[in-house]
A and B are shown apart, each in its own frame.
Chain A
Amino acid sequence: MMELVCPAGTPAALRAAVDAGAHTVYCGFADETNARNFPGLNFSRDELAAGVAYATARDAKVLVAINTFPRAGAAQLWHRAIADAKTAGAYAVILADVGLLAYAAETHPDLRLHLSVQAAAANPDAINFYATVFGVKRVVLPRVLTIDEIAQINHEIDVETEVFVFGGLCVMAEGRCSLSSYITGQSPNMNGVCSPASHVDYAEEGRDLVSRLGGFTIHRTPKTAPAPYPTLCKGCFSSGDQTGHIFEDPVSLDASHLIPALARAGVTALKIEGRQRSRAYVAQVVRTFRAAVEAQAMGLPMPDSALARLTEGQAATAGAYAKTWR
């Protein structure tokens, strides 16, 4: 059976994910060492230890994301996070920064290392580089690759691959995007946030709801229409005589129907995005995908996905997996 890797933004969400059938859950500490550094989210050291105990008792694994790029002069914060994740019993840490990978490989040689999607390792040369030099055992593939490219990559590497199948979609090469810091001063790379809530403003103007980020208008929708969060690259903009979602529509990924193709492409694990979502979201999504991977393992067709209400903008896409996305 393909491994189902599920998000845990809070201890309650971790338990919900495990109870719903996650093989593995991933989480982060409540600071800038991980790329979901949002208000009210993430784990203290004690909460992580409790979460690992809960998961282990149910044969599930816990991964800790320490996938931002340490700040010059403050790397100890990230070093402590790695040590504490190991002490708490994490199965692996998920890293992106070269310096941090070098540190982990040298200081904690027994700690299993996964390569974050924030390392944007988009070809076999990149993946083999991280594998040979730092000993990473698994790579989370960037969301810009097609299924054929994923299959090709798997032929040329020895490490496991983990691929996103559901949730928010990043259209730019991850870990290499400064759109957010250009507008707000905070970036996913340095601070673990993109389009931070602290810079969001919703204003009712006439019949419209206008959502702005850092003072820039991202969406203007009728008050009765769905209201997407003003993620920078998902907004409605204009260029010349064109107005629309220049970069990406505010939809999210649902590649559940592509699970058999991903299995044939040699993918080891399926990743669900959503550490910032509620335990209700996590339970429903994980249950749905657990049913899917079990069906896949038995050679049965994929069950119909009833997850429309949970996808941003209430519509889903297969993302880059289909080549026409480019």
Chain B
Amino acid sequence: MPAPNLPLLPRPLAFAVRPLPTLPLTAVLGWMAQRMARAHPTLLQRMGQHAGRRFLIDPTDFPFVLLLHPASGAISAHRRGKLPAYDARMAGPMSAFLAMMHGAEDGDALFFSRDLTIEGDTAAVLALRNAIDDAELDLSVELTAASGRFANVTRRALARAEQMTGLTLHRVEAEDLR
């Protein structure tokens, strides 16, 4: 039984993003990842030896896959036709990843219901999932802070994007869960 409220990325949005070259996207993601790693130093520590593994994040409703290497903070975008080498792969709608990252949905529940599937180094996936769960990441906070003096604009845009797409773009507090 799939999660009742996991939306798929709207087709127009996914379509619009498709022709974009991967390099700028990689640059932006890489920069974000570095910021987040600096803000959450225990995240890497918690991963231990698994931080050196390569994780392929495959949001199935998004034209790109992401390759994450926590130890170096590297994150890059790739087209589906040319998958990079990886040690573990997680696949599912973007909303599932965002919901899990933000504590809106439980990772195990998403795996049981097959909203998220995993392949490869299962231990590494567990380490990543537990580390991210503990870090209490908040994409909205990161993006807003990163936008500097455009913080207010960014904050409003993110709120509107959440409303329109149903994606969880900010950290969910325990009290807000049902």
Q: Do these two chains interact?
A: yes
Q: Name A's B-contacting residues (CB within 8 A).
A: 9-13, 16, 19-20, 38-41, 196-198, 200-202, 209, 223-229, 276-281, 283-284, 287, 306, 309-310, 312-314
Give how many A-B residue pairs fall within 8 Å (CB-CB): 116
- Which residues of B have CB within 8 Å of A314? 1, 112-113
In the complex, the answer to whether A226 meets B135 with C-beta atoms within 8 Å is no
A12 touches B133 (CB 8 A): yes
Bound state CA distance, A263 and B105, in angstroms?
Answer: 32
Question: By the criterion CB–CB under 8 Å, are A10 and B174 in contact?
Answer: no
- Count residues on chain B whose CB falls below 8 Å from chain A CBs: 40
List the B residue with the shortest CB-CB distance to A221.
B114
CB atoms of A280 and B106 under 8 A apart: yes
Among the stretches B10-18, B19-27, B119-127, the one at the interface with A is B119-127
B111 touches A227 (CB 8 A): yes
Q: Does B118 contact A (CB under 8 A)?
A: yes
Q: Is the interface of B mostly helix, strand, loop or mixed?
A: helix
User: Given A227-B114, A281-B106, does the pair A10, B122 have CB atoms closer than 8 Å?
Assistant: no
Q: Is the CB of B104 within 8 A of A280?
A: yes
Q: Which residues of B contact A313 (CB under 8 A)?
A: 112
Please determine whether A226 and B106 come into contact, CB atoms closer than 8 angstroms.
no
Evaluate whether A312 and B103 lie within 8 angstroms (CB atoms) in the complex, with A40-B130, A227-B117 already known: no
Q: How far is the CB of B73 from chain A (nearest CB, A)?
A: 17
- CA gap between A226 and B124 in the complex, in Å: 22
Chain A residues whose CB sits within 8 angstroms of the CB of B130 once the complex forms:
9-10, 38-41, 276
Q: Could you jot down 19 A-B contacts, CB within 8 Å?
A: A12-B133, A13-B133, A13-B134, A16-B174, A19-B175, A38-B126, A39-B50, A39-B130, A41-B126, A198-B122, A202-B118, A209-B117, A226-B113, A226-B114, A278-B108, A279-B133, A281-B109, A310-B108, A314-B113
